Amino acid sequence: MRFFSSSVARCATALLLTCGSLLPAARAQAPKTYTSSEILLGLKKLNVLGSVMYMAAHPDDENTRLIAYMANGRLLETGYLSCTRGDGGQNLIGPELREGLGVIRTQELLAARRIDGGRQFFTRANDFGFSKTAEETFTIWDKEQVLADMVWVIRQRRPDVLITRFPPDARAGHGHHTASAILAAEAFDAAGTRNGSPSSSSTCRCGSPSACSGTPAPFS
């Protein structure tokens, strides 16, 4: 019995060593390094307490000039909330569509924020392609769910100002665009009351931003 147990142990050890040799060597993730200019920018931001949240519908709706200006020029904590992940768009350079395209466009936004200094947020809204009106959009989107996601982000990050990319009417040119502006205004009000989106009121402190505004003309 003792000989059998030792034989099994030797076989198991050999099997582990063999399997391990077939796997790529595990490497620890390299720590992020910062340039002197990035360190200086971070130190400057310690003296600024303001924050702003930019809201729109799709990954290609954000104004990176505005985000970069707010984050690096005005030294504000700056976020971009995209209602969708862009999975309903077109792809002229690859085969990925729907969820696969959504993964790519999500990574594009995360990469853009690493460049312009903003933070990236999403909701669970479905990008189902072109929509003519906000009313049509809300027949596909779960409005209350998307609103709850926006309120949760506002309560978590507590921005001083919300900036919407589009107007809440037909001038936005796309049902998703109009819907994002409508929801942003509703989230602005709901974030400050416990009855507004109660799902996050138990885990996040209620509070509305000081102002909600459309994109300033120079950045439109």
**pLDDT category of residue 193 using cuts at 50, 70 and 90:** confident
pLDDT of residue 187 exceeding 60: yes
Q: What's the start-to-end Cα distance of the chain, in Å?
A: 80
CA dihedral sign, ordered 68, 71, 74, 77: positive
Lowest mean pLDDT, pick from 1-5, 136-140, 149-153 = 1-5
pLDDT digits (tens, 9 = 90+) for 103-140: 888 999 999 999 999 999 999 999 888 999 999 999 99
Per the confidence metrics, is the pTM higher than 0.85?
Answer: no
Which two three-digit tokens encode residue 23? 């796997």
**pLDDT category of residue 218 using cuts at 50, 70 and 90:** very low
Class of domain 51-219 (CATH, top level): alpha beta
Mean pLDDT of the residues in the chain: 82
Question: Greater confidence, 217 or 43?
Answer: 43
**pLDDT category of residue 33 using cuts at 50, 70 and 90:** confident
pLDDT of residue 159 exceeding 60: yes
**Sequence spans of domains, the chain:** 51-219
Instruction: Output the DSSP codes for the chain.
Output: -HHHHHHHHHHHHHHHHHHHHHSPPP-PPPPP---HHHHHHHHHHTT---EEEEEESSTT---HHHHHIIIIIS--EEEEEESS-STTS--SSSS--THHHHHHHHHHHHHHHHHH--EEEE------S--S-HHHHHHHS-HHHHHHHHHHHHHHH--SEEEESS-SSGGGSSHHHHHHHHHHHHHHHHTTSTTSSHHHHTTS-----SEEEEPPGGG-
**pLDDT category of residue 141 using cuts at 50, 70 and 90:** very high
Which two three-digit tokens encode residue 51? 């924050």
pLDDT digits (tens, 9 = 90+) for 46-105: 999 999 999 999 998 999 999 999 999 999 999 999 999 988 777 778 787 787 888 888
> Hey, which of 86-100, 173-187, 198-212 has the most confident mean pLDDT?
173-187
